[in-house]
Structure 1
Amino acid sequence: MNEKRIAKTPFALAFSVGAVLFSAHAGGGFATGNQANTYYVGLGWAGPVSAVIAMLLLTLTMRQAMVMYNSRGLTSYKQLFQALYHPFDKIEWLFEVFFYIMVLMAVAAAISGAASALKGYFGVNYYLAIVLVGIVVLTLTIFGAGIVRAASAYMGIAILVTAITIYTVGIFKSDSSITAIFSADFAEKGFAGMPKAILNAFTYAGFQCVTLPTMIACGTPLENRRGCGKAMWISFVMNAVALVLSIFMLQTWQGVYTSVEGGTTIPTLTSCNAMGIGWLTTVYGVCLLLCLISTGVTTIFGFVARFEKLPMFRGISSAPVRSAIVSAFIIVVSMTISLAGLTNIIKYGYGYCGYLGIAVVVIPFLTVGVWKNRAYIRQHGETFAARPESDEAVAAVVPRPAAQCD
């Protein structure tokens, strides 16, 4: 095949697709600093290395998923995993299990994070704050989901800008030098922490794969393998830079936020308070609270849209009543999980889901997926075939996961 005939993917298109994964990763959960503190800060100099490996694993996995999805003209993530696991098609249910548990964890983390923010800013009792946030999320899910979903992108951008500002200012404002920290850590530990760093990289990439249904839906305009690769390399740079910046900042302020009771729950907020920049702390807190509530609402709304059509709800003619029942059930389960606290949810809930994600998403796509994609493209060519259904139909069958949970 003449390589020159392969259509080039416009940079704007590749960037827009890559930015979806960036916004999905760098949202409320990322901006709290809890994930970076849990998986990377304690690794010392190996933390940033682990983060870069995680983002490489994640973007390479998404690339193979989009290539498989687009080259075959698939229209749902169920079809995608059947194609990946064929002839063992029923294994795709493992992704279903991973996806729904992970999204429940994301909602629980959003409620817990918002409750922790209320406690940190206003001194509200944590358990009371969980109830208050749960009521707000339920109300918005039933009556205001459309408004929240429309505003979620802007809230995500706002929290991202303020978080990056805090990271940049924090690195230079800290009394600790990141170079000195890394030098001392390497002199003490050497390469002893690398096995843990590699495991954390795979785990982090594993639970971030909850965004896969969104990514394959948003990546449908990419017409060939090179386009998918271009979009994901752009996303890799964006995600790796933001995550490494957050690790640098938290490592230089680790002695501060670990010395404060509850300071590790939202370490970015604790560090920002210590910097003494009042206006930045206020803007960050408001954006973080709104973003976390938005994550909970949009995620639950995706659940409701999928489950309210189950046979058990056919006897309920009122759509708002069906939505309220499903929403209330999900929120009660998520509130119960949130009692464990944000740190435990991210450490254990996300962690165990990450192990499952490694087994059912990351490793299969980076091994069997690569082989199947190469074989398929050799037979059918580099340019992907047109789908039998419209992109609107694809969007309708692929549920929207937590776009800002990770």
Structure 2
Amino acid sequence: MKNGNSAKASFFAAFSVGAVLFSAHAGGGFATGNQANTYYVYLGWAGVLSAALAMLLLTLTMRQAMVMYNSRGLTNHKQLFETLYHPYDKLVWVFELFFYIMVLMAVAAAISGAASALTAYFGLNYYVGVVSVGALVLLLTIFGAGVVRAASTYMGLAILVTAITIYAVGIFKSDDSIMSVMLAGFGERGFADVPEAVFNAFVYAGFQCVTLPTMVACGTIMKRREDCAKSMWISFALNTAALVLSVLMLLSWESVYSAIEGGSVIPTLTICGVMDISVLTVVYGVCLLLCLISTAVTTIFGFVARFESHPIFSGIKSAPLRGAIVSAFIIILSMSISMMGLTNIIKYGYGYCGYLGIAAVVVPFLTVGVYKNRRWFAEHGEAKRTVREITAEPARAAK
């Protein structure tokens, strides 16, 4: 019985970590439909494969990052990238540049989108919505990794259920069947779009790597390589199911929402409106709000974890207060960027960051990272304890 309880606890821990990545991806990734429309829908059938490949690349990258972080007992993502890039440690600034720009882009899109959702669905003043969302994000980001894991787990479950319901209804009520749309696209283009689909998968995975600092901070409970792998396979299943269903629904409705002015900005909302199902529209509003808030929370948390221990805050003893200051700074700065509009942020801001993410994160972790992790375990032995566990012993003994 004890082993059964241990297995359940292990699965829940892995699920909670996997849900962090799912929740971070949800907002722009598939809830609005904007990212899916920008990177996959125009590719037709190849876009579906591209979406699945992007999620595979992303979760494999996160897996190697968590293994490296936990096995060496590292304490922040700067140390992680110094370990990855060694002996060229200064290359860590390539990731820092990518991370700072991408945080601004992601948070600007998330908070602005969430405030707009509150305005559209509940009639709340936009500026009041911004303050409300910002305050909620602050609360969720300043109290540590445990709160982020818990919040992401429950928001992730709510998002998964509502998103799949919406996509299933949308696909069912479409005038064009998925098969006919995909076969028509294949007949017109064949395999011509496959190279671009592969490239888009790398770009998409690249800019989603902005969540890496959050993932390694929340993933410290994954003690073994097998635990890291389990959490990321769970995340792969969740993310792929939701993103692929989103792409399939958008494919079947593309001719409708693309013909409506502004319909491609949040195409999922446009589709809900065309279907004229009030309950579905309300459910979508709640889902979208949860997705965007979760994206902002998980993205900002990585930034807070990086800077709350900076010497500039040495005079502030309260960790929540330090986190609140850092979080408030990035929220306020991000709002000025939100004036670009959601589509421009995703198409240009995310796109160019994606190129940098390929070079700075995805390719290094899936090549050098894999090699260094395998060599580490070959030298230290699979059964040996991690550095984190060894260094924790004096503290436990003192107690």
For 1:328 and 1:306, the matched residues in 2 are separated by 14
For 1:233 and 1:298, the matched residues in 2 are separated by 19
For 1:361 and 1:317, the matched residues in 2 are separated by 34
Tell me the equivalent position of 1:207. Answer: 207
For 1:346 and 1:52, the matched residues in 2 are separated by 19
Tell me the equivalent position of 1:62. Answer: 62
Structure 2 unaligned runs (5+)?
Answer: 1-6
For 2:14 and 2:62, the matched residues in 1 are separated by 13
Offset at residue 22 of structure 1 (A): 2.3
Tell me the equivalent position of 2:132. Answer: 136
Counterparts in 2 of 1:123 and 1:256: CA distance versus 1, 3 Å: farther
For 2:90 and 2:376, the matched residues in 1 are separated by 22
Counterparts in 2 of 1:205 and 1:269: CA distance versus 1, 3 Å: same
Tell me the equivalent position of 1:24. Answer: 24
State the TM-score, normalized to the length of structure 1. 0.81
> What is the identity, as a one-letter code, of the residue corresponding to 2:34?
N
| Equivalenced residues, count | 381
Tell me the equivalent position of 1:179. Answer: 179
For 1:227 and 1:51, the matched residues in 2 are separated by 25
Query: Helix, strand or coil for the counterpart of 2:221?
Result: coil
Counterparts in 2 of 1:390 and 1:179: CA distance versus 1, 3 Å: farther
For 2:308 and 2:216, the matched residues in 1 are separated by 24
Which deviations, in whole Å up to 9, do the C-alpha atoms of 1:143-179 show, x marking residues without a partner? 7877996766544433332221110111111111111
For 2:297 and 2:316, the matched residues in 1 are separated by 23
8 Å CA contact 2:58, 2:209 repeated in 1:
yes
Query: Helix, strand or coil for the counterpart of 1:26?
Result: helix
Offset at residue 238 of structure 1 (A): 2.2
The Cα RMSD (Å) is 3.4
Counterparts in 2 of 1:305 and 1:152: CA distance versus 1, 3 Å: same
Query: What does residue range 320-359 of structure 1 map to in structure 2 within 5 Å?
Result: 329-359=329-359
Per mean C-alpha deviation after superposition, the further-off stretch among 82-91 and 112-121 is 112-121
Query: Helix, strand or coil for the counterpart of 1:339?
Result: helix
More helix by share: 2
Per mean C-alpha deviation after superposition, the further-off stretch among 147-156 and 87-96 is 147-156
For 1:59 and 1:104, the matched residues in 2 are separated by 23
Query: What does residue range 38-57 of structure 1 map to in structure 2 within 5 Å?
Result: 38-57=38-57
For 2:321 and 2:22, the matched residues in 1 are separated by 35
For 1:138 and 1:241, the matched residues in 2 are separated by 30
8 Å CA contact 2:115, 2:130 repeated in 1:
no
8 Å CA contact 2:66, 2:216 repeated in 1:
yes
8 Å CA contact 1:31, 1:160 repeated in 2:
no
Whether 2:82 is the aligned partner of 1:87: answer no
Structure 1 unaligned runs (5+)?
Answer: 1-7, 394-406
State the TM-score, normalized to the length of structure 2. 0.83
Offset at residue 268 of structure 1 (A): 1.0
Query: What does residue range 2-401 of structure 1 map to in structure 2 within 5 Å?
Result: 10-27=10-27, 29-117=29-117, 120-121=120-121, 129=126, 131-140=127-136, 153-293=153-293, 295-296=295-296, 299-300=299-300, 303=303, 307=307, 329-383=329-383, 385-386=385-386, 387=388, 388-389=390-391
Identity among equivalent pairs (%): 69
8 Å CA contact 2:111, 2:293 repeated in 1:
yes
Tell me the equivalent position of 2:3. Answer: none
For 1:23 and 1:330, the matched residues in 2 are separated by 20
